[in-house]
């Protein structure tokens, strides 16, 4: 794969400055002319980096290909439908692209009509697992497939693992991923070259986080480096779909491009337990006691459901009297860890009753030394001396990131055991 960084600044000066400030570990730059409000000197652009440059004018006329090449620009993007004799003339310097921001067209017909360029790029918007799988199934030499949007993250992240040629990092397109996260997912230049070699052989074992939404998830930046470190032929992606069944059904059936293992986040953790039971899965003690599942995997002998959130909380919690805020699947895992640690615990929730919860308004009267917030929003409580607060969500507080890494330790062990030779 080639990791291309998209630069989409509003002025030529800002674009050149952004290019000069880029870290070296990338394979090329795409400069978006359509976002610029003033003219850019192509000679200055070429002088700003030694990396290959792709020139794009999305939604506007094709840049002057001859002038770009004369200035030392490596590639020019041509939107499908705007081809002319220049595409044939400069075939080896053209990325012929098609974009659909609403859905997925007939991919076979589209590929059949996109001829005459060295590079073919199709960026469309899948909404289902099957549409993502259709993109991955049509990856071929010289073809780049990109799933856009939240639901397209499944194939966007997986595409390089299946041989897709170009991968665009940035924040300019729906579902695009920033460079730092991309480098964590795919590794340095040496790792990406190994990935390109592997993608032509046996497909990787696929893992994914299932949630609604889960596009913000950092789990791919945790598990993909671990797969590389342990030399496991596997890839971890994001399955952000409105229903759990959308990804759970292909997982259970073992269809092509489906995951062999799932990390499960809100709001599917309790539903995942019922689903696991319907499969006849082995229910590990953590999952059985918590009544929720955050890890579901197909092993050589059947399905296994576990809850490594319990392990993560057990590694972090310290106290003598605790409060849990929330009553969902994550709260259930925290309750198990606190119970095993013999820490008396009171549950508070916006809707009282579930898990024996008291009204959330009563939390202000809590007189303990540990508060575990499992809600996806910050608590409206002033800090208290001697009270430790643990936020389960890393979008709420830094302790959530510690929990994410802590639960991933056991979760990765489960994944690795299932696919190791």
Residue 353, classified by CB atoms within 10 Å of its CB into exposed (0-12), middle (13-18) or buried (19+), is exposed
Q: Do the bridges between strand 370-373 and strand 322-325 make them parallel or antiparallel, or are there none, so unpaired?
A: parallel
Catalytic residue among 51, 121, 226, 269: 269
The tokens describing 273, both together, are 């337990």
* Interatomic CA distance for residues 37 and 33, integer angstroms: 9
To the query of whether residue 51 is one of the catalytic residues in this protein, the response is no
Phi and psi, residue 22, nearest 5°: -65, 140
The tokens describing 17, both together, are 């400055």
Residue 70, classified by CB atoms within 10 Å of its CB into exposed (0-12), middle (13-18) or buried (19+), is exposed
Question: What residues have CB less than 8 Å from 356, skipping those under 6 apart?
Answer: 347
Phi and psi, residue 305, nearest 5°: -120, 135
For the chain, how many residues are written?
421
List, by residue number, the catalytic residues.
269
């Amino acid at each position: 794969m080639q990791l291309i960084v998209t630069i989409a600044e509003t002025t030529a000066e800002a674009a050149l400055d952004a290019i000069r400030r880029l870290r070296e570990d990338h394979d090329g730059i795409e400069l978006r002319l359509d976002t610029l409000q003033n003219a850019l000197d192509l000679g200055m652009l070429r002088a700003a980096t030694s990396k290959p440059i792709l020139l794009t004018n999305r939604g506007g006329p094709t840049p002057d290909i001859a002038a770009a090449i004369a200035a030392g620009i490596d590639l020019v993007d041509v939107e499908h439908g705007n081809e002319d004799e220049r595409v044939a003339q400069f075939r080896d310097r053209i990325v012929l692209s098609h974009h659909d921001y609403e859905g997925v067209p007939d991919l076979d017909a589209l590929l059949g009509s996109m001829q005459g360029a060295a590079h073919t790029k199709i960026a469309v918007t899948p909404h289902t697992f099957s549409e993502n799988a259709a993109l991955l199934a049509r990856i071929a030499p010289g073809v780049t497939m990109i799933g856009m949007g939240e639901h397209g993250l499944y194939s966007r992240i997986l595409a390089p693992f299946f041989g897709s040629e170009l991968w665009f990092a940035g924040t300019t397109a729906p579902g695009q991923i920033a460079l730092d996260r991309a480098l964590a997912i795919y590794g340095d230049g040496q790792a990406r070259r190994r990935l390109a070699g592997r993608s032509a052989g046996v497909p990787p074992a696929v893992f994914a986080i299932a949630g609604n939404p889960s596009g913000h998830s950092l789990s791919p930046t945790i598990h993909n480096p671990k797969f590389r470190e342990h030399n496991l032929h596997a890839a971890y992606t994001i399955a952000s779909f409105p229903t759990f069944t959308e990804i759970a059904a292909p997982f259970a059936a073992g269809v092509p491009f489906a995951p062999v293992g799932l990390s499960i986040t809100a709001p599917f953790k309790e539903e995942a337990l019922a689903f696991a039971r319907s499969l006849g899965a082995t229910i590990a003690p953590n999952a059985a006691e918590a009544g929720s599942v955050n890890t579901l995997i197909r092993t050589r002998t059947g399905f296994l459901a576990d809850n490594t959130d319990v392990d993560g909380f057990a590694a972090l919690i310290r106290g003598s009297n605790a409060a849990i805020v929330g009553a969902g699947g994550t709260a259930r895992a925290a309750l198990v860890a606190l119970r095993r640690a013999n820490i008396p615990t009171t549950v508070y929730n916006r809707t009282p009753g579930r898990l024996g919860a008291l009204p959330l308004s009563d939390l202000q009267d809590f007189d303990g030394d540990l508060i575990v917030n499992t809600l996806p929003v910050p608590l409206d409580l002033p800090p208290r001396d001697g009270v430790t607060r643990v936020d389960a969500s890393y979008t709420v507080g830094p302790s959530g990131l510690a929990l994410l890494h802590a639960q991933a330790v056991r979760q990765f062990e489960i994944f690795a055991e299932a696919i190791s030779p």
